[in-house]
Structure 1
Amino acid sequence: MNWTLEVVLVPVTDLDRAKDFYAGKCGFTVDLDTEVAPGIRIVQLTPPGSRCSIALQSGMPPAPGERVMTPGSLHGLQLCVTDIEAARERLVSEGVEVSPVQHVGPAGWTEGKGETWNSFLFFKDPDGNGWTVQEAPSELSER
């Protein structure tokens, strides 16, 4: 049996603003924008080439035993691209505040590309949820 990660909930304060950011500025595809019950809206978006989507929602009660996530509290989300400079250029051209390309060196984070698997950039959505973008070898995109 396969266990696939398909959707990650991203807590936001304003669904329309977040939808515009992820679709308009980051290039995610809007898969769903619907009211599933009175007062409960879900927006699902998928990064280009990914099988895993993000979900933005309002009015949804937390699952039993879970607590409500605070907008801006989600960090460590990671996207992989085959061309980190092109990814950065796209985000910057859309007005996203993004870090320079960096890699980990002996003294910690250092500006510029590193070796294979060691080139990153960082950005946040309008609520402060943190994203990492990592350059991965192109042969992985063929999986």
Structure 2
Amino acid sequence: MAINDWRIELVSVPVSDVDRAKAFYVDTVGFTLDHDHVVSDDLRFVQVTPQGSACSFCFGTGLTEMPPGSQKGVQMVVPSAADAHAHLRERGVECSEVDEQPWGRFVYFADPDGNTWALQELVRPS
């Protein structure tokens, strides 16, 4: 593998209730369900991917030692913070208003365990 070809493709999100997390991320937020495999009583692997993302997220049983809700500030880039805000609100997700900063527009939300997410619309200097 060439050192100039490293990619982040999977990030763990620690949750306390796998089915509740799956319902939140897939049914409520709208991520695509890629996998849901029960390997054993001690290992379940669920993978979801935001539309258009090259990076997926996983959660389940036996995947991480992080306590539920401890993943803070995962950030995704979106074309429009206003559209992302509307999408989340239409689906019943509690989220911040659009936060206008010189370097971007942001919307923040948390999953039922308290893992936090930032959605950023990039702002290019004129």
Provide TM-score, normalisation by structure 1.
Answer: 0.79
Residue in structure 2 matching 1:78, options 71, 75, 82: 75
Residue 38 of structure 1 deviates from its aligned partner by 4.0
Identity of aligned residues (%): 45
Tell me which amino acid in the other structure corresponds to 2:100. Answer: H
Residue in structure 2 matching 1:32, options 17, 25, 35: 35
CA contact (8 A) 2:84 2:107 kept: no
CA distance in 1, matches of 2:42, 2:67: 19
Query: Which residue of structure 2 lines up, in the alignment, with residue 53 of structure 1?
Result: 56
Unaligned runs of 5+ in 1: 63-67, 105-114, 138-143
Which has the larger displacement, 5-14 or 34-43?
34-43
CA distance in 2, matches of 1:101, 1:59: 36
CA distance in 1, matches of 2:99, 2:39: 41
Residue in structure 2 matching 1:101, options 98, 103, 114: 98
CA distance in 1, matches of 2:97, 2:45: 33
Query: Which residue of structure 2 lines up, in the alignment, with residue 8 of structure 1?
Result: 11
Tell me which amino acid in the other structure corresponds to 2:120. Answer: Q
CA contact (8 A) 2:9 2:56 kept: yes
- Runs of 4+ displaced beyond 6 Å: none
> How many residue pairs align between the two structures?
121
Provide the alpha-carbon RMSD of the alignment: 1.7
Residue 136 of structure 1 deviates from its aligned partner by 2.7
Residue in structure 2 matching 1:128, options 86, 111, 114: 114
Which has the larger displacement, 38-47 or 9-18?
38-47
CA distance in 2, matches of 1:71, 1:90: 25
CA distance in 2, matches of 1:59, 1:74: 16
Unaligned runs of 5+ in 2: none
- 3-state secondary structure, aligned to 2:104: coil
Tell me which amino acid in the other structure corresponds to 2:38. Answer: E
Provide TM-score, normalisation by structure 2.
Answer: 0.89
CA distance in 2, matches of 1:87, 1:48: 12
